[in-house]
């Protein structure tokens, strides 16, 4: 549920987004707050998925799924009528130069996004991986009129 506090607030939600399907998720949404230049990836895992991922905590990708609710925040670097680019960086270890960068390339009209991860170590880029997401629906609001409808016209 997105609550818009201002008549001029511009928030777009892409809902039920997944690269492979929704079987592990109750909710997997991207909330794009254009006013605050923040995109939030909201994941709510099913109880069955949380249990499954907690059984094998060393399996790649299980750290996020070991919690029922996970929210990742990205800074919006660019947005226009059709596209949004957002990014976040996470240090691999505290007080070290190595980090992971996640970029989101969002197409509002197609309701698709690519999440690309980059692992940087001392000598530069070590590994790059892109995961495509398809979202089932989108919504947006600004007072009584939908922002998404305005943008997509």
What tens digit of pLDDT does each residue of 14-29 get? 999 988 888 889 999 9
102 CB burial (10 A radius; 0-12, 13-18, 19+): middle
Q: What is the pLDDT of residues 62-113, one digit of tens each?
A: 556 678 999 999 999 999 989 999 999 988 777 777 889 999 999 999 999 9
Distance in angstroms (rounded) separating the CA atoms of residues 86 and 78: 7
pTM for the whole structure: 0.77
Q: End-to-end alpha-carbon separation of the chain, Å?
A: 24
User: In this predicted model, what pLDDT tens digit does every residue of 32-71 receive, in sequence order?
Assistant: 999 999 999 999 999 998 888 888 766 665 556 678 999 9
Domain spanning 11-152: CATH 2.40.128: yes
Helix, coil or strand: residue 10 = coil
């Amino acid at each position: 549920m997105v609550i818009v506090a201002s008549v001029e607030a511009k928030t777009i939600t892409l809902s039920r987004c997944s690269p492979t399907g929704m079987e592990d998720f109750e909710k997997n949404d991207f909330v794009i707050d254009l006013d605050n230049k923040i995109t939030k990836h909201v994941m709510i895992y099913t109880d069955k998925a949380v249990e499954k991922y907690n059984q094998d905590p060393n399996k790649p990708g299980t750290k996020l799924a070991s919690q029922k609710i996970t929210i990742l925040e990205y800074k919006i670097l660019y947005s226009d009528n059709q596209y949004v680019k957002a990014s976040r960086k996470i240090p691999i270890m505290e007080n070290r130069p190595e980090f992971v960068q996640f970029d989101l390339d969002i197409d509002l009209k197609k309701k698709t996004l690519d999440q690309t991860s980059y692992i940087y170590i001392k000598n530069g880029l070590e590994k790059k991986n892109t995961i495509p997401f398809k979202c089932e629906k989108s919504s947006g609001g600004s007072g009584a009129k939908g922002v998404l409808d305005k943008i997509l016209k």
